[in-house]
Structure 1
Amino acid sequence: MSEALLVKEAGAAPVVAPASGARLFWRRLRAQRAASAAALVVLLLVLVALAAPLLAALAGQDPNTYHPDLVDSAAGGVPIGPFGGISADHWLGVEPQTGRDLFARIVYGARVSLGVALVATVLQITLGLIIGLAAALGSRWVDQLLSRITDINVALPIMVIALALLAIVPDTFPRPVLIALVIGGINWAGTSKIVRAQALTLKSLDFVSAARLSGRGKWSIARRELLPSLAAPVITYAALAFPSNIIVEAALSFLGVGIKPPTPSWGQMLTEADTWYQAAPTYLLLPAGLLFVTVLALTVLGEGVRTALDPRAASRLRVGTKQIKEDAA
């Protein structure tokens, strides 16, 4: 008791408990101003996508109603009015030829573009995680077989395979679901390679050897010992793969094998806008600008997540990052 009083009287600094892993991650992520701003942009885009029906209802429009009276048929279907027909009823103007409300199609297109990329990312991460763990924990011939399959997948021309698969599937199959399955089912090789390499390294560590000596099975070891250690690289890869999948979906739609009308998608809107960039530039600039902002925000956020999970890489993002003192470093 007397020692405690002496410490208190001497003004010794109290012992602060180290921050938990989750708290330390959020602290590092918040310290990066660029990543925080990108996270706000991504959150806003997600809210717009989720609230698309409500936002369209507030505007009094829907994405598929034609307004032929709002386009000049004598001029080839150019929207009547300045800036693509912007008015109190049509906040971002109307679509050339059809007169469909552009604001409603933009917000509904966000649901498709973000939803397809999200499902594709989850699928490719799941497949890559399972195949990578199976290769690392399986026998030598299983490892060789799965590694060769992964190498073949990496060497395949992804866009060509996707074009072929999307061209032969009947149009009755839901197109957004099909595109997500194709992208996720093809792009899993990168995740698999990362997981296999990390799992092989972790297998040689003492805590995994102790779990093996205790009689636990391979998949029990994978679930309890390997997966927590693999969380950081897998989450980092997923954060960086998500914007890439948005680009792939937009590219497929731009090539004419992606989302089919009347379902709105930013990439599909770009496909139709390539002939209107002079007569109705807003029809091209709006989806292109939103794609640019979305991919940029997700890329910056993914880089911030990578840095927050790997403190050794903090020096790579000095711009927009303030130094913080981490008690649990």
Structure 2
Amino acid sequence: MSEALVAAETPGTGIEPVPGVSGARQFWRRLRAQRAALVAAAVVALLILVALGAPLLTAIEGQDPTTYHPSLIDSARGGVPIGSFGGIGGHHWLGVEPQTGRDLFARLVYGARVSLGVAFAATVIQLLVGVVMGIASALGSGWVDQLLSRITDIFVAMPLMIMALALLAIVPSSFPRPVLVTLVIGFIAWGNIAKIVRAQTLTLKGLDYVSAARLSGWGTWRIARRELLPGLAAPIITYAAILMPVNISIEAALSFLGVGVKPPTPSWGQMLTAADVWYQAAPQYLLLPAGSLFVTVLALTVLGDGVRTALDPRAASRLSIGTGRKREAKAAKGETEAGKSASAVGKAATEAGNGTTEAGKEGSA
């Protein structure tokens, strides 16, 4: 992995490689240079802590995500929460749900556990299946490569949402829904990572150290484990960081369509499904899960872009906008002006040298 991280830098990236520094330290130094990625990493870490500490947080509040509170809703108005801002108070920090009176804070933090847990587990499954299929295809014989490549093409072309809707609709409701959503996403959407791993493996297996390992008598899978996987670490980590926000969006969409996580299990997408008719009477019921999804997906996307740029510094960030571009334009302008000044100084020195030569000739005459 160190060789993958310590890549040659191109001029203009602003970060030059440091001789003698390990790959992990190079990666961390490049990542620290990206403030947006660090902020995104802090947001993701906070969300993970909230998800893991959901039982503790709800215990401090004194609520749980499934208990109904009919006394906190106004039946005469169709189930709108009693009180200002959806019933926010000392016992219900973010208010309660319309019609049910369930605590909104408890359902929001437990929903983070479901959404993040499903996305993380599905990403792990996608990586495991994609890496195995990609390496097996690249290292196998001709007919094995053709067979596995055609299978991968089928899964890449397969419409994920349609297949997920079909599978989730026919599976009995007794099967745990978060587990089912994880398995469906993980075992359908692995095709792209398999293609990336296959292409990278084909490049790596032609290098000298891999050929030397083959000539020394190592088996195929030992070569893959000891020589190829370290070189594949950078693209795998990069793609994993990109997959996480995609999988969160897919889980939310499936739950929103009613085939994902079912009540009373809280999920941000499932909360949005129930909130679509309450955006006027109880706007916080819609804004809180929607805002949580937006912040999570945005933070993971920015972090994934930062990891990709830190692992491959030759590739510019896709999110380099605004002040970043202005700084680059200013630096380029400064370099141009410095070049012009140097040229002017050189011209003046040349003219002075010519004058000295002419004076010498006159003195000789």
TM-score, normalised to structure 2's length? 0.82
SS in 1 for 2:214: helix
Task: Assess, with a 3 A threshold, how the Cα gap between structure 1 residues 120 and 316 changes in structure 2: closer, same or farther.
Answer: closer
Counterpart position of 1:261: 263
How far 1:203 moved relative to its partner?
Answer: 1.3
Which of residues 42, 58, 61 is equivalent to 1:59? 61
Distance 2:319 2:87 in 1: 43
Q: Answer with 154-163 or 46-55: which moved more.
A: 154-163
**8 Å Cα contact 2:73/2:100 also seen in 1:** yes
How far 1:318 moved relative to its partner?
Answer: 4.2
Deviations 1:241-267 (A, max 9, x none): 000000000000000000011000000
After superposition, where does 1:103-252 map in structure 2 within 5 Å?
Answer: 103-252=105-254
Distance 2:185 2:66 in 1: 27
Q: Does 1:272 align with 2:280?
A: no
**8 Å Cα contact 1:308/1:314 also seen in 2:** no
After superposition, where does 1:304-319 map in structure 2 within 5 Å?
Answer: 304-314=306-316, 316=318, 318=320
- Flag the structure with more relative contact order, 1 or 2, with Cα contacts below 8 A and sequence separation at least 6: 1
Counterpart position of 1:327: none
Which is higher, the Rg of structure 1 or of structure 2? Answer: 2
Q: Does 1:289 align with 2:284?
A: no
What amino acid sits opposite 1:94 in the alignment?
V
Distance 1:316 1:24 in 2: 21
Counterpart position of 1:44: 46
Distance 2:148 2:181 in 1: 25
What runs of 5+ residues in structure 1 fail to find an aligned partner?
Answer: 1-15, 324-329
How far 1:317 moved relative to its partner?
Answer: 5.0
What amino acid sits opposite 2:284 in the alignment?
T
What amino acid sits opposite 1:140 in the alignment?
G
Distance 1:42 1:158 in 2: 26
What do you get for the CA RMSD once the two structures are aligned? 1.4
Deviations 1:7-30 (A, max 9, x none): xxxxxxxxx862111111111111
SS in 2 for 1:311: coil
Distance 2:320 2:254 in 1: 36
Counterpart position of 1:302: 304
**8 Å Cα contact 2:305/2:318 also seen in 1:** no
How far 1:314 moved relative to its partner?
Answer: 3.9
- Identity among equivalent positions (%) equals 76
Distance 1:33 1:304 in 2: 9
What amino acid sits opposite 1:256 in the alignment?
G
Distance 1:21 1:230 in 2: 14
What amino acid sits opposite 1:97 in the alignment?
Q
Distance 1:198 1:117 in 2: 25
How far 1:192 moved relative to its partner?
Answer: 0.1
How far 1:171 moved relative to its partner?
Answer: 1.3
Task: Assess, with a 3 A threshold, how the Cα gap between structure 1 residues 197 and 140 changes in structure 2: closer, same or farther.
Answer: same
How far 1:315 moved relative to its partner?
Answer: 5.7
What runs of 5+ residues in structure 2 fail to find an aligned partner?
Answer: 1-17, 329-365
How far 1:278 moved relative to its partner?
Answer: 1.0
What amino acid sits opposite 1:183 in the alignment?
I
SS in 1 for 2:315: helix
Distance 2:45 2:159 in 1: 33
Distance 1:17 1:133 in 2: 32
Task: Assess, with a 3 A threshold, how the Cα gap between structure 1 residues 143 and 304 changes in structure 2: closer, same or farther.
Answer: same
How many residues of Structure 1 are paired with residues of Structure 2 in the alignment?
308
Counterpart position of 2:37: 35
Which of residues 24, 27, 49 is equivalent to 2:26? 24
What amino acid sits opposite 1:167 in the alignment?
A
Deviations 1:190-232 (A, max 9, x none): 1000000000111111111111111111100100111000000
**8 Å Cα contact 2:305/2:317 also seen in 1:** no
Distance 1:230 1:291 in 2: 31
How far 1:102 moved relative to its partner?
Answer: 0.1
